Amino acid sequence: MYKVKAGIIGLGRLGKEYAQLIKNHVKHVDLLAACSLNQEELAFAKSKLDVQYTYTDHHQIVNNHDLDAIFLMSPPVHHAMHLIDAVNAGKHVFTTTPLATNVDDCNTVIKTAKNRPSQVVMIGFEHRYYQAYNQAKAIIDKGQIGEVIMINSSTFDKEKTDMYYKQYGVDAGGIFMELNIKNLDIVRWLSNKEIESVTSTGGSFKYELFDRLNDADSVMSLLELQGGGMANVAASRLSQDGFNFKTSVFGTEGSLEILNQSSSESIIMHDTKGVNIKIPQTYFERFEPALLAQANDFIQCIQESKRPSVSLEDGLEATRAAVAMTKSFLMKEKIHLER
Ligand SMILES: NC(=O)c1ccc[n+]([C@@H]2O[C@H](COP(=O)([O-])OP(=O)(O)OC[C@H]3O[C@@H](n4cnc5c(N)ncnc54)[C@H](O)[C@@H]3O)[C@@H](O)[C@H]2O)c1
């Protein structure tokens, strides 16, 4: 079968892991090029990923005529520009979340993609490729827990250091965009309802740096859903045991909880030290099997000229809610989502 020739933009915390996943595990793809602002990362790409081309300017990678597709792993504030330039250069594009950091940019990306219907443009909501989340979705859609009336979904990232947050805090789009965006898609996807309003609160309980950035280290939001129902979405950068991602759904006839283990590690170990449950330490570790399934699906969509099951409009709606949550947090008031 024809191998898709791909490049990757961004080789940071996620991009480096993702590039190795593409190179070593994704089927029917050759990773030929990488783009990063960091020379050490480009040296890694040459020596460990064996790419032919390295670039520091994204225009060069998207205009490389040897490439069919781009995996986008750059900081959120650059997604819209990188997506638009890659799509206009004729490339299929897979982007990690968010689609863009504001609604106008999301709409421009969607318009650009619509003008290029033969190209696959896909956003990464990997929980949709995660077995336990899919089982939960099937149970809900069969009506087995009745009408969904409450969802709790949270992301608690393992605590890092002041230096780390100084280096990475600014381009990430804020805690609502960075840590809550997947939870927002989970709420919409599992409830089959749009988000109507958000009320957010939070603070910088341990890292005052986030105060200075008008951001927070821990936040919580109450969401009202169209047609009834509510969700509680929380995020923190202060998790002590590892990367925790938890979702529970409560319905009129039952409830369900999706456990926090990565799919490959569901063991509770008992020994002389007591009971030990392995908690994933990073986002990548937590979602690796789903990230692989998702990347394989992107390549399959290209090969079979299929549309991805997750739409760019799903990306838009998650960004719309994350923007509203940030506004609610800053203005200390309930925000109704405008459509
Ligand atoms: N880190 C995670 O665990 C995680 C989890 C889920 C999603 N994501 C998403 O993945 C993306 C990357 O996150 P990260 O944590 O790896 O970021 P990072 O800051 O660690 O890395 C960013 C990479 O992008 C490159 N870059 C920055 N500006 C660029 C530009 N203008 N042109 C070309 N390259 C540029 C940098 O050189 C670096 O290689 C973000 O959109 C983030 O929301 C990250």
Mutate to test the pocket of ligand 1, among 20, 37, 85, 164 (most ligand atoms within 8 A of CB): 37
335 lines ligand 1 (CB under 6 A): no
Q: Is the pLDDT of residue 222 over 70?
A: yes
Domains and CATH numbers, the chain: 4-127+289-309 (3.40.50.720), 128-281+318-336 (3.30.360.10)
Task: Report the pLDDT averaged over residues 51-71.
Answer: 98
Q: What angle do CA 299, 301, 307 make, to 5 degrees?
A: 145
Task: Give the distance (Å) from ligand 1 centre to CA of residue 78.
Answer: 9
Atom of ligand 1 nearest to the CA of 41: 39
Q: Are 220 and 233 within 8 A, CB to CB? A: yes
Answer yes or no: is the C-beta of 37 below 6 A from any ligand 1 atom: yes
pLDDT at 270: 85
Report whether pLDDT(59) > 90: yes
Share of the chain above pLDDT 90, in %: 87
- DSSP-assigned beta bridge partners for residue 244: 156
**Segment 270-317, tens digit of pLDDT:** 878 888 777 888 999 889 999 999 999 999 999 999 999 999 999 999
Euclidean distance between CA atoms 213 and 323, whole angstroms: 15
The CB of 11 under 6 Å from ligand 1? The reply is: yes
Residue nearest to atom 25 of ligand 1 (CA): 10
Quick one: pLDDT at residue 167?
84
For 115-148, what is each residue's pLDDT tens digit?
A: 999 999 999 999 999 989 999 999 999 999 999 9
Interatomic CA distance for residues 247 and 255, integer angstroms = 11
